[in-house]
Amino acid sequence: MESKILGVLKQDIGNWPLEKDWITIKPVATPFFENKAIPYRLNFSEVSNMDLNTIDQVLSNFMNIDVSVIKEASKRSFENWIAFNNAVGYLDTIETYQSTSDKPKWMVRELKRMLPLLSLNEPKKVWKYITPTEIVVTKDRHQMHDEIYVQILCNCVWEEEHGLQFVLKKGNELTRVSDQDGNLF
């Protein structure tokens, strides 16, 4: 199979339950992340009625995304960081760890990992803390919505366990920024 936007795709054979999915042969330069090359997955495993022409239109929207959408993603990612910190208290933990004498090795390691978060004090800085891992093109698996979505899965420094995701309806309308919980809504 070949996408006009992504190029040649291969079936993800042998990775049940993803064996009906198609993936990029090599990562694709992605404007949302300053043209960083990211692997793409077309999710056909749990959804039906996805055709390549419609997917290419959604991907074209995504590849030509307006800078205002990226700015909104920055703002909402920063809000996610603030909410996470308010819930977990990373900045307080850093202060506690820094003031502790005779730090055990695990505390030194955690302090080193968390210290960069002291500089995360405005939305435009969030991109230093977010690393995209995969972009999934999919539909609502419950078939309550008919649109195609671009779901960007990322690692992020403040949310190591669940990561971060961006969900864009039709590839250009930011609908969600959250931890990776498997949901589009």
The DSSP 8-state label assigned to residue 31 in this structure reads: G
pTM of the model: 0.90
164 close to 180: Cβ distance less than 8 angstroms = yes
Quote the distance between the C-alpha of residue 28 and its chain's center.
15
Q: How many residues does the chain have?
A: 185
Give DSSP secondary structure letters for 120-183: --SGGGGGGGEEEEEEEEEE-TTSS---EEEEEEEEESS-TTT-EEEEEETTTEEEEEE---S-
What's the pLDDT at 118? 94
Candidate from 23-27, 34-38, 81-85, 122-126 with smallest mean pLDDT:
23-27
Place of tokens 């078939």: 143
- Asked if pLDDT for residue 134 goes beyond 90, the answer is yes
Domain boundaries, the chain: 2-69+127-178
Contacts of 67 (CB under 8 A, 6+ apart): none
Q: Which tokens belong to 128?
A: 């230093």
Calculate mean pLDDT across residues 74-98.
Answer: 95
First to last CA, the chain: 29
- Asked if pLDDT for residue 5 goes beyond 80, the answer is yes
What letter represents residue 75's amino acid?
K
157 close to 129: Cβ distance less than 8 angstroms = yes
Q: Which tokens belong to 38?
A: 């990211």
Q: Which tokens belong to 1?
A: 């199979």
pLDDT tens-digit readout, 140-174:
776 677 889 999 999 999 999 999 999 999 999 99
What's the pLDDT at 38? 97
